[in-house]
Amino acid sequence: MANTITYTYERLKKFCEDAFEKFGFCSEEARIITDVLLLADLYGIDSHGTQRLVRYHKDIAKGLIRVDAKPEVIFETPVSAVIDGHDGIGQVIGYRAMEKAIEKAKKTGIAVVTVRNSTHYGIAGYYAKMACDQGLIGLSTTNTTAIMVPTYGREAVLGTNPIAISCPAEPYPFFFDASTTVVTRGKLEVYNKQDLPLHAGWAIDSTGNESTDAAKVLGCISNKEGGGILPLGGSTEDHGSHKGYGWGMVAELFSSILSLGTTSDQTNIGGKGGICHGFMVIDPTIFGDAAAIKAHFSAYLEKVRSSPKAEGRERIYTHGEKEIEAAALRMKSGIAVNVNTVAEMRDLAQFLNMNVEDYLGAEALSIKGKKSIYQ
Amino acid sequence: MANTITYTYERLKKFCEDAFEKFGFCSEEARIITDVLLLADLYGIDSHGTQRLVRYHKDIAKGLIRVDAKPEVIFETPVSAVIDGHDGIGQVIGYRAMEKAIEKAKKTGIAVVTVRNSTHYGIAGYYAKMACDQGLIGLSTTNTTAIMVPTYGREAVLGTNPIAISCPAEPYPFFFDASTTVVTRGKLEVYNKQDLPLHAGWAIDSTGNESTDAAKVLGCISNKEGGGILPLGGSTEDHGSHKGYGWGMVAELFSSILSLGTTSDQTNIGGKGGICHGFMVIDPTIFGDAAAIKAHFSAYLEKVRSSPKAEGRERIYTHGEKEIEAAALRMKSGIAVNVNTVAEMRDLAQFLNMNVEDYLGAEALSIKGKKSIYQ
């Protein structure tokens, strides 16, 4: 693609880690934040990858994210913990919370850790994968800025509220990471940029009626005039709107409710994030033979993948398959970064007194991106 | 409604309990099974209520359900258990499994119990409610006969795979009980009876193409020719088909996989049920002040309910609200039972040497239902 520049994983990693250190994070924290962002890039979830780097920097500048915050355990039992993130960066808080859930589950078999006063933590799946990488079942959820309108409402009071679950399997783990809205805001923005009408069942305007006008809906959302994105299942109960809305509420329960934190409708208001997360880890050995369970799951997933395809379709994917394929390809062929993002990164590098040519190549010097906040 | 007869809750309870005892269950088991069925009737989920009575009797006659089976704990830790249902009736197995999960969670804070070799257990929500009634968070899931076609497939390899979650709140608990398919088979049957076209995005035929022909789809399913019901989110990823399919897989994971049981694609084949369930209980006190958590959740649910409504809509419901209202109404005004169901119950009563007039009233004697298996 002409409007992208391709970088190796290692090169982006070096740039991000050094940039986050320049933001004020210690090297271990910079490594964690970068690892979360780059997993999104490797998995093809570009909206949550390096393109968010500048946004995190802005949030730090605004005081929304506090670089020096240390997550604090404010309540704890052998199977649980509640952590106050003290407005730190979501990736570090999420990582520490999932580490704690894993540590506890290795002793007790199951653990749940909830978090309040955090900020955007990247892809929910990263944390579920942390558990899965150690042979455990991981679950992670978060609330977000309110953007989901409940069934029959016209004001966003829930977030996109993703839930991710990962479980060991061969040849690759089950990795399910899905917002509980029908689509995310990023999708609306892509359609808006391309002047395409939205699909029916995606979004409503400030009257609560469905709208396929991306610019209008995004305007309503930005100006907090009402309207927003519909739950998975669309606008009415005929297609299960109440189910997606229910899953959004479950995400809220396991993040903001069980941490006594800020519900989505009150997050990111008045310079305060207040984002909440939830993490659960289950050790499959509490059900007997973990190897047999893994083999049983692997066989079933393979059976689903190899079941007959719909006319005109060549593949049935199980969850995580696309991500593993994308990561293998991108580790080999590099990660294509949109030139506007590269221009932002270049301007950020200059702002941070980093050598642009060393980090991003001579190419990055010559591209004309949109005017950035650093110019 | 002219085609229904209305009975009091108590009258249906007496009839069901006595009928289940006549089937061979002890009085405690008959009470449990009836309680599960009648909660469905009270909650307005008629497909899972007393109308299934005759179906359970048939399944016993066929040997699919074994009346004398006792659920057996085959693996256990302080936070978990795996139960073999030995082909008993799902309601009794599910009740015992949830009892065990509650007992464990009261000691440890969290517990998960999985079940294999069970049969249809009624509404998933019943078991989640058992935990909630004791101030705990309850989760229940089950696999079912395969009817969900995975995204881009054309053969059903997952069940409707409902997941239910209930959590204490005021003035009524959060009670979320939803299949992971876009609709259930019952809905297709209703549309078929009324000769209505199905909604787009509900079902596919044996070629894997969407079909709005209820009779055709139901025929495909019954004859196991392929086709089936789509996941929540419909037929393509544009509306999140992969998300509903992912939730279906999560239900499978927590039922058939973690119990090393039968996956949906292999259930109810060759006279063997093999249905699997999963139950989780979390004591909110492991996150600190359970009363504060309940108050926090209650306030948020109220905020969602009272948020602005879409044009033409008067109410936003939170999950469990409709069920509580339906139950209050039906406890007061009775439960309307379709005359065909009453005729089936009458014929069953005669078969079991129960006095029809005493149990179902003189009305029941005179109605002409469809010819039943007992005639």
Mean pLDDT split into 10-residue runs, chain B, 375 residues: 87 97 98 98 91 92 96 98 98 98 98 98 98 98 97 97 98 98 92 91 95 94 92 96 98 98 95 96 98 98 98 97 98 94 94 96 86 72
CA distance B250 to chain A (A): 8
Q: Name which of B108, B183, B265 is nearest A303 (Cβ-Cβ).
A: B265
Choose from B137, B147, B249, B317 for mutation: most chain A CBs within 10 A: B249
For chain A, list residues with pLDDT below 50.
1
Domain annotation covers residue A374: no
Domain shared by A80 and A27, yes or no: no
Strands A110-118 and A80-84: parallel
Q: Name which of B109, B114, B293 is nearest A77 (Cβ-Cβ).
A: B109
Domain annotation covers residue A145: yes
Q: Does A322 touch chain B (CB under 8 A)?
A: no
* pTM strictly above 0.90: yes
Domain annotation covers residue B14: yes
Q: Rounded CA gap, B222 and B202, in Å? A: 17
Sorted by sequence, the CB contacts under 8 Å of residue A164 that are 6+ apart come out as: A123, A124, A125, A127, A128, A138, A139, A140, A141, A175, A176, A177, A178
Domain shared by B35 and B150, yes or no: no
Domain shared by B215 and B255, yes or no: no
Q: Does B44 touch chain A (CB under 8 A)?
A: no
Quick one: which of B254, B297, B332 has its CA closest to A257?
A: B297
Domain shared by B167 and B188, yes or no: no
CATH number at B248 reads: 3.30.1370.60
Domain shared by B139 and B200, yes or no: no
CATH number at B24 reads: 1.10.1530.10
Domain shared by B46 and B78, yes or no: no
Domain annotation covers residue A372: no
Domain shared by B111 and B197, yes or no: no
DSSP character for B52? G
Domain shared by B139 and B172, yes or no: yes
Domain shared by A34 and A135, yes or no: no
Q: Does B265 touch chain A (CB under 8 A)?
A: yes
pLDDT of residue A186: 87
Domain annotation covers residue A373: no
Residue A224 structural domain? 184-229
CATH number at A206 reads: 3.30.60.50
Q: Name which of B150, B296, B307 is nearest A260 (Cβ-Cβ).
A: B296
B149 vs A contacts (CB less than 8 Å)? 310
Average pLDDT of chain B, as a whole number: 95
User: Other C-beta atoms within 10 Å of A219: how many?
Assistant: 15
What is the amino acid identity at position A286? I
pLDDT of residue B31: 98
Domain shared by A237 and A193, yes or no: no
Domain annotation covers residue B374: no
B249 vs A contacts (CB less than 8 Å)? 174, 176, 301, 304, 318-319
Sorted by sequence, the CB contacts under 8 Å of residue A130 that are 6+ apart come out as: A95, A98, A99, A102, A138
DSSP line for A307-361: SPBPTT----PPTTHHHHHHHHHHHHH-EEEEHHHHHHHHHHHHHTT--HHHHH-
Overall domain count for chain A:
3
Domain shared by B272 and B141, yes or no: yes
Whether the Cβ atoms of residue B275 and residue B172 lie closer than 8 Å to each other: no
Domain shared by A308 and A254, yes or no: yes
Domain annotation covers residue A28: yes
Dihedral pair phi/psi, residue A217, rounded to 5°: -65, -45
The dihedral over CA atoms of B17, B18, B22, B25, expressed in degrees to the nearest 10, equals 30
Residues A150, B297: C-beta atoms closer than 8 Å: no
Domain annotation covers residue A193: yes
Whether the Cβ atoms of residue A142 and residue A162 lie closer than 8 Å to each other: yes
Mark which residues 46-65 of B lie under 8 Å from A by CB. Answer: none
Q: Rounded CA gap, A227 and A150, in Å? A: 10
pLDDT of residue B190: 86
